[in-house]
Amino acid sequence: MHEFELIKKYFSKLSKKNKSALNLNDDVFFDKKKELVISIDTYNDKIHFIDFNKPDLVIKKIIRSSISDLICKGVQPKFYFISGSGNKKSFSNNNLLKISKSLKQEQKKYGIFLCGGDTTFSNKLSFSITSVGYSKDIIYRNKAKINDDIYVTGNLGDSFIGLQILKKKIKFNKKINDYFINKYYKPDIQLNIAKKLLLFANSSIDISDGLISDLEKMLNMQNYSYEITEKKIPISKYLSKLIKIHKFDKSRLVSKGDDYQVLFTAAGSKSRIIDRTSKILGIKITKIGKIIHGIKKSRIIDEKGKKILLKNKGYIHQF
């Protein structure tokens, strides 16, 4: 049973009288009257991070991926709560000092503040982060319109390569290894775009499980499909070079997740303001496709105009 089947079968009915829960089909809770926006995420050792040998970097990854849920809604994160379950080895004095130092750095970088949390003893290490922000409105997940253009911020695929290097499945020179590992632990989340998204986006989501997987989540309550041009999907110069040298599959790499970039749709009439926003904020924003009518018509098109078949569209939360 995957995540959405579980929610629909056991929990959706519990939220029916609570409009702020957004039918449990979005990344946040939004109380419009109180202008309150909340998200929560849980991270488990060996699943959401490879190990805890670098607690200072793991905690940065966790914090950034958590607040990206608010950022993609057009909301500035303000506060966070952190709960951790672990043992004396995980939460040694040395590790706690590193975690504390990293949290201080992240707070300064993103203008957020710790408000509380909890700790429990367990031989299985995990963290839960609750992120809080305030806004009069948000960009909902399922509000795309026919002929909307599809955009994504930043570059995709670097984090997955970093993970493969850490798992020792691939290896390059130190400079290349360090670049991709850094992208895995410290994703380039686009904080400043939160201030502008409400001006042009019709729907949005952050890319946590992979470009195609999250794009399909964004359309999961609508009878729409998408058309993506593979060539337009933005990647770094480092990844572009590796693809050429090693013949890596670009569509597969950008569908593996952990990028935490903002994926959104917007009307064609908004292209100028999006381009201007990209230049003013210094954020890479790339148009990669379009929303089309009908279901089961989604496709990724290669340089020759042929449809690319993807066996794995991204990470799926199975239970």
Both 283 and 160 in one domain: the answer is: yes
Can you tell me the mean pLDDT for 6-24? 82
pLDDT at 319 over 50: no
How far apart are the C-alpha atoms of 51 and 59, rounded to whole Å? 12
Both 103 and 194 in one domain: the answer is: no
Is 139 contained in some domain? Answer: no
Is 165 contained in some domain? Answer: yes
229 versus 17: which is more confidently predicted? 229
Categorise residue 123: left if φ over 0, alpha if ψ from -120 to 50, beta otherwise: alpha
Give residue 246's domain range: 149-301
pLDDT tens per residue, range 160-187? 999 999 999 999 999 999 999 999 999 9
Both 169 and 271 in one domain: the answer is: yes
Can you tell me the mean pLDDT for 140-149? 96
185 versus 310: which is more confidently predicted? 185
pLDDT at 5 over 80: no
pLDDT tens per residue, range 245-280? 988 889 989 999 999 999 999 999 999 999 999 999
Q: Which residues contact 157 (CB under 8 A, 6 or more apart)?
A: 235, 236, 239, 250, 253, 254, 256, 259
pLDDT tens per residue, range 78-125? 999 999 999 999 999 999 999 999 999 999 999 999 999 999 999 999
Residue-level pLDDT at 52: 94
Is 253 contained in some domain? Answer: yes
Both 107 and 233 in one domain: the answer is: no
Q: Alpha-carbon Rg of the chain, whole angstroms?
A: 19
pLDDT at 74 over 60: yes
Residue-level pLDDT at 318: 44
Residue 271, judged by CB atoms within 10 A of its CB (0-12, 13-18, 19+), counts as middle
CATH code at 122?
3.30.1330.10
Both 125 and 184 in one domain: the answer is: no
Edge to edge, the sheet with strand 36-44 lists 29-31, 36-44, 126-134, 77-86, 113-121
Can you tell me the mean pLDDT for 11-36? 88
Both 174 and 83 in one domain: the answer is: no
Overall pTM surpassing 0.85 (yes/no)? yes
CATH code at 288?
3.90.650.10
CB 182 within 8 A of CB 264: no
Q: Give the residue ranges of DSSP H helices in the chain.
A: 3-6, 55-71, 93-110, 158-166, 174-185, 211-218, 237-246, 250-253, 271-281
Domain finish residue from 88, 109, 134: 134
Both 111 and 173 in one domain: the answer is: no
Residue 172, judged by CB atoms within 10 A of its CB (0-12, 13-18, 19+), counts as middle
Both 42 and 98 in one domain: the answer is: yes
Is 317 contained in some domain? Answer: no
Closest CA to 207 of 276, 269, 270, 155: 155
Both 21 and 58 in one domain: the answer is: yes
Helices 158-166, 174-185: axis angle to 10 degrees equals 110
Is 180 contained in some domain? Answer: yes
Both 113 and 172 in one domain: the answer is: no
pLDDT at 316 over 60: no
Is 198 contained in some domain? Answer: yes
Both 164 and 257 in one domain: the answer is: yes
Handedness of CA 2, 188, 162, 247 (dihedral sign): positive
Domain count of the fold of the chain: 2
| Average pLDDT in the chain | 93
pLDDT tens per residue, range 194-251? 999 999 999 999 999 999 999 999 998 898 999 999 999 999 999 999 999 988 889 9
